[in-house]
Amino acid sequence: MTVTVSASGLTLRYGGTVALDDVALRLEEGITGLLGPNGAGKTTLLRVLATAVPADRGAFTVLGHDPGTAAGRLAVRRTLGYLPQNPGFHPDFTAFAFVDYVAILKELTDRAARHREVRRVLAEVDLADVRGRRIKRLSGGMRQRVALAAALVGDPRFLVLDEPTAGLDPEQRMRFRELITRTGEGRTVLLSTHQTEDVAMLCHRVIVMAGGHVRFEGTPAELTARAAGRVWSSAERDPGARAGWRTGAGAFRNVGDPPEGADLLEPTLEDGYLLTLDDTGAQAVTR
């Protein structure tokens, strides 16, 4: 499979804080999930890859273009669709007017061609019927879809989505997942999220970040497999467990190093994620 993004040694500091520390990764066609706790460096990594901020050190290419040069940066931006963590809207704009505005920023200056493209992307995110409605009158889920439509203008090959499902209710989240699956076909998508379900349902690869480092890179199945034999059930919370919580059935689900003869359970992606963080000392996993 073609490597779309290749990065090595990416390092970025905010004052005394190291947000990215020698990050290396490769992204291929398909959806890659980016998991990590708050402050892990996910948004910073996405902003660097989206060319919003330059890294202090390190380099990366997108489809062979080096954003370190002005020409390379322009080429990267022409292949890029970016949905930031807090996509901002001009609240008085309609959905159509806002996407039209972003289309102009993406160099679509011919009015007829631009409007065709705006209609196409709004239809792609199922917003054709509300295209004339002001953004401030749209629900949170619809606003996220407007932002996704804006990211899709110009049919980008590399999509960077920063926590697109945050703040959505379960029904909206499910609809948005369907959209991401659909729009991810034939593209390289980097999807930052706090939700392990997003990764389990959408992604063919997953990267776990903590403390500015990449802690894991592999398939969701490989991340889940990290917790094989390390999840068990008990009537009371096991004090030796790294994490433990009461389930709906009343028993405790423990994650860590099980005692002799423990009642082992089938691990989930979340178990693998929690253990990856805990194994690297990135986060004390207690609930």
Partner 1 sequence: MSGDTNPRQTWHLAEEDLRAYDRGELAPPLLWSADAHLAGCAECRVRLAGLADPAVLDAGWARLDAELDAPRPSLLERLLLRCGVADHTARLLAATPVLRRSWLLAVTAVLVMTVAASDALRQADSPTLFLALAPLLPLAGVALAYGPVCDPAYEMAVVAPLHGFRLVLVRTVAVLAVGLGMNGLATLALPGYGLRALAWLLPALALTATGLALTPRLGAVLAPALTGGGWIALLAVAATGRHGDATLPPFTAAGQGAAAAVAALAVVLLVHLRDRFDFAADRTAPTGGPYGGTP
Residues of the shown chain interacting with partner 1 in the complex, contacts defined by CB under 8 A: 12, 14, 43-44, 47, 50-54, 70, 73-74, 77-78, 80, 82, 84-94, 96-98, 100-102, 104-107, 109, 111-116, 118-119, 131-132, 135-136, 140, 143, 150
Q: What is the DSSP string of 237-281?
A: --TT-SEEEE-TTSSEEEESSPPTT-EE----HHHHHHHHHHHTT
Q: Are 160 and 46 in contact (CB under 8 A)?
A: yes
Give the residue with the Cβ less far from partner 1, 43 or 276.
43
Instruction: Considering the complex, state which of residue 101 and residue 252 has its C-beta at the smaller distance from partner 1.
Output: 101
In the bound complex, what is the minimum distance in angstroms from residue 269's beta carbon to partner 1?
Answer: 26
By the 8 A CB rule, do 56 and 12 touch? yes
**How far apart are the two ends of the chain, measured CA to CA in Å?**
40
Residue 64 or 281 having the CB closest to partner 1: 64
Query: What distance in Å separates the CA atoms of residue 241 and residue 172, rounded to the nearest whole number?
Result: 35
> What's the closest the beta carbon of residue 175 comes to partner 1, in angstroms?
19
Residue 3: closest CA among 33, 25, 26, 24: 26
Q: How far is the CB of 233 from partner 1 (least distance, A)?
A: 39
For partner 1, the closer CB: 137 or 246? 137
Considering the complex, state which of residue 126 and residue 257 has its C-beta at the smaller distance from partner 1: 126
Residue 99 or 243: which CB sits closer to partner 1?
A: 99
The DSSP line for 113-139 is: HHHHHHHHHHHHTT-GGGTTSBGGGS-
* Min dist. Cβ of residue 107 to partner 1 (A): 5
User: Which tokens go with 80?
Assistant: 């890029």
Which residue, 114 or 230, has its beta carbon nearer to partner 1?
114
Q: How far apart are CA 39 and CA 105, in angstroms?
A: 30
Nearest Cα to 234, choosing from 257, 262, 260, 196?
262
Residue 195: CB minimum distance to partner 1, A: 19
Cα–Cα dist 41/56, whole Å: 14
